[in-house]
Amino acid sequence: MADTSVKDPQVKKAEPLFGKAERKLLVDPLNDNNPITVQVLGICSALAVTSLVYPSVVMAVSVIFVTAFANLFTSILRNYIPKQVRMIVQLVIIASLVTMVELTLRYLNYPIYKQLSVYIGLIITNCIVMGRLEAFAMANKPWRSFIDGIGNGLGYGVILIMVGIVREIFGKGSLFAGSPIELKIIGATDAYMIDTTQSVLFGWYANNNLMVLPAAAMFLIGIFIWIQRSYNQKLVDVS
Amino acid sequence: MHSTKYVVIFVLILTSTVAVLLAGFREITKEGAERNEDIFNKRAILLAVEDYLGDGVKVNNLADGEVLNIFDTQVKQVTLNAQGQPIEDGGVKAEDIDMAKEKKKPESERKLPLFIYESGGEKYYIVSVRGTGLWDEIWGNIALKSDLNTVAGAAFDHKGETPGLGAEIKDNPTFAEQFKGRTIYDNGAYVSVNVRKGGAVDKEHEVDGISGATVTANGVSDMLYKGIKAYEPYFKTLK
Amino acid sequence: MEFLNVFIKAAFIENLVLAYFLGMCSYLAVSKTVKTAFGLGLAVIFVLGITMPINWLISEYLLSENGLLGIDLTFLRFILFIAVIASMVQLVEMVVEKFSPGLYAALGIFLPLITVNCAILGGSLFMVSREYNLTESVAFGLGGGFGWFLAIIAIAAIREKIRYSNVPPALRGLGMAFILTGLMGIAFMSLMGIDPAVFTAAK
């Protein structure tokens, strides 16, 4: 990936590269301003890929890449973008970044590319990306926008991976299936299914098929929101 | 507000820059992506004869080079026309046949790929089949032993079956495992291998279905029946 | 596959929201009352029905290797699709505003939202990966839009009623909407086994 991460010398001179404000931009989306559970953005493309952790991680990384760089480029161009076609320009930027992600995945890891299929393309309409461009990058300097992009991508990724972990452990009994570090956590292994003399941990556990259904992701996010709001009263929906 | 002229020029410059960048990026990754795809497809074919690759060899642990090497040295490729006659030189190579495109052609014009894997003096005939599952297409490679009756192995894949349900045809090795040793002829009459909901009754020609994935399972049965039948005329000439 | 066949499949069996969870953002944000949900639902049917055939023509005649240009441009698919969607939405907005102020009043505010509705782009991407033909893509667009419309009306109606229920405070609003959607998704799964051919074969 041809990264062009730091490229705004004026900002460096004027204020610290990573001060309090930047820290807030990075940390806020993880809890108080989480894109999924608080801003309710970017749920669409997320749910279908979270039945396993590994694709969730790949998806999260892709989204972080896209939000960060879409924010960066939009912010650089923000004073030149004509208002009339603002949306189309933003979408072109996002779409080309997503195309790059797709091509890169195809080059680096073909099986996972196959597995994520259309959901890679759907990052384009992932409302977080667009939402952050509108709400932040159009009005802020490149470096801060870049941090904001990473923060929001992370906030999204954290939820995605959390959902993925719960769904995979209870739905499949494993973790990181399909990746080089596949772990079998609970339930009978494939080897056990073929040869029952093999002993396994918690071999009695039967996979919970509800967890692999897409609906489980909805329940889990609902429950995450419940837990988060019980601790964070200011987020409670009064309406 | 910017003038219309500015808007047009801005959009033109942006889109052409993006198009050129992406085209360049694609050119760089193209070769690698195609090689990946080639290896991915060849792995899928070898998966059907995994048991006969050598002691404890797992297709997914083979290095890319080894996959290509096995294909070059031990696999003979034959392209058949719809009547089951081998197409001599000048036709497409079996590995270049795109089953998705063939499926859309009228049956009488289809080309069929056949891979003959040789190991330890035994020949295994790997046929490719393609059909429709619940959401989308499913496909697989079935290896027959040299009696052209007993299944030596099977491997399936899908485009978009429900994770945990239909997708188990690929994800759960026990599903494909069941096919080993089943026979496709019943006293000389072609019966294929059937996936039965609720569990196989006829242990010779049936395998257990996946609970909750009846439509996918029926798709597999249908695909196997039609797919293997297409090779029958050629197999008759071999016997 | 016939028109009706694809339509029914897209609307009920493979509902974009309840089976694929596409278009969730606007689905959750605009489903507080039935009235607004109705407007957005109509707008989605409208835009899906229009963009689908256009994107089909583009991917068939412009991007494909066998198209007019003769080169494989599929890597530009995302950009072109989203550009078509964005410009179509804008065009529809202008046309509706000019010729039907009544409809504009109902749909107007929702139209810009639709560009980033994943259901629209998702529909086009599904259309490509499933290799539909022109008629099927129109059917898929209208059916998918109708399914989306049904889903948002249903959740809005439930959310209107649930306001009178005693939901734990932290779960109120968003949390409950997620859980309800999950339940609806499971309910819709029972339509999964339907073979759409029965509707067309009966005639």
Residue C26, C-beta contacts closer than 8 angstroms, at least 6 positions apart: C40, C110, C113, C114, C116, C117
Model pLDDT, residue C96: 78
pLDDT in tens, B123-167: 889 998 998 887 678 899 999 888 888 898 898 888 777 666 777
Which chains have at least 3 CB atom pairs separated by less than 8 Å from chain A? B, C
Q: How many CB pairs under 8 A join A and B?
A: 78
Model pLDDT, residue B122: 84
Distance between CA atoms of C150 and B174, rounded to whole angstroms? 39
Say which residue, C176 or C25, is predicted with more confidence: C176
Name the minimum distance, in Å, from the CA of A35 to any CA of chain C. 11
Distance between CA atoms of A72 and A64, rounded to whole angstroms? 12
DSSP state of B137: E
> Would you place residue A11 in the very low, low, confident or very high pLDDT band (cuts 50, 70, 90)?
very low
Model pLDDT, residue C150: 92
Residues of B in contact with C192 (CB under 8 A): 134, 215
Residues of A in contact with B162 (CB under 8 A): 212-213
Q: Does B119 touch chain A (CB under 8 A)?
A: no
The answer to ipTM > 0.90 is no
Name the minimum distance, in Å, from the CA of A226 to any CA of chain B. 26
Residues of C in contact with B104 (CB under 8 A): 131
**Is B150 domain-assigned?**
yes
The answer to whether the predicted template modeling score (pTM) of the entire model surpasses 0.90 is no
Phi, psi of A94 (to 5 degrees): -60, -45
**Is B144 domain-assigned?**
yes
**Is B163 domain-assigned?**
yes
> Tokens 């959310």 appear where?
C159
Chain C contact residues (CB < 8 Å to B): 14, 75-76, 79, 129-131, 192-193
pLDDT in tens, B73-115: 888 888 888 777 787 765 677 777 877 777 777 777 888 888 8
> Would you place residue A5 in the very low, low, confident or very high pLDDT band (cuts 50, 70, 90)?
very low
> Would you place residue A192 in the very low, low, confident or very high pLDDT band (cuts 50, 70, 90)?
low
Name the minimum distance, in Å, from the CA of A175 to any CA of chain C. 23
* Nearest C-alpha neighbor of A101 from the set A135, A74, A67, A146: A67
Residues of C in contact with A127 (CB under 8 A): 25, 116, 118
Which chains have at least 3 CB atom pairs separated by less than 8 Å from chain B? A, C
pLDDT in tens, C103-147: 777 666 677 777 777 888 888 888 887 778 888 899 999 999 999
- Residue range(s) defining the domain that contains residue B119: 75-238
Name the minimum distance, in Å, from the CA of C147 to any CA of chain B. 16
**Is B193 domain-assigned?**
yes
Alpha helices in chain B, H assignment, sequence order: 4-47, 64-74, 99-104, 168-171, 173-177, 214-238
Model pLDDT, residue C157: 92
Say which residue, C146 or B118, is predicted with more confidence: C146
Neighbours of B28 (CB within 10 A): 12
Say which residue, C159 or A2, is predicted with more confidence: C159
For CA atoms A194, A199, A202, A203, the dihedral sign is positive
> Would you place residue C44 in the very low, low, confident or very high pLDDT band (cuts 50, 70, 90)?
confident
**Is B59 domain-assigned?**
no
* pLDDT, chain C, mean: 82
> Would you place residue C203 in the very low, low, confident or very high pLDDT band (cuts 50, 70, 90)?
very low
> Would you place residue B118 in the very low, low, confident or very high pLDDT band (cuts 50, 70, 90)?
confident
Taking a contact as any Cβ pair under 8 Å apart, which residues of chain B between 28 and 87 contact chain C? none
> Would you place residue C149 in the very low, low, confident or very high pLDDT band (cuts 50, 70, 90)?
very high
**Cross-chain CB nearest to A44 (options C23, C29, C112):** C23
Model pLDDT, residue A200: 60
Residues of C in contact with B19 (CB under 8 A): 76, 79
**Is B136 domain-assigned?**
yes
Model pLDDT, residue B14: 87
Mutate to test the interface with A, among C15, C16, C18, C22 (most CBs of A within 10 A): C22
Q: How many CB pairs under 8 A join A and C?
A: 141
Residue B112, C-beta contacts closer than 8 angstroms, at least 6 positions apart: B79, B80, B81, B82, B84, B97, B102, B127, B128, B230, B231, B234
**Domains in chain B, number:** 1
Residues of A in contact with C186 (CB under 8 A): 213, 215
Model pLDDT, residue C202: 46
Model pLDDT, residue C106: 67
Average pLDDT on A24-34 reads: 78
**Is B10 domain-assigned?**
no
Distances (CA, A) of B239 to B6, B49, B146, C170: 74, 21, 9, 71
> Would you place residue A187 in the very low, low, confident or very high pLDDT band (cuts 50, 70, 90)?
low
**Is B207 domain-assigned?**
yes
Give the CB-side neighbour count of residue C142, counting CA atoms within 13 A.
11
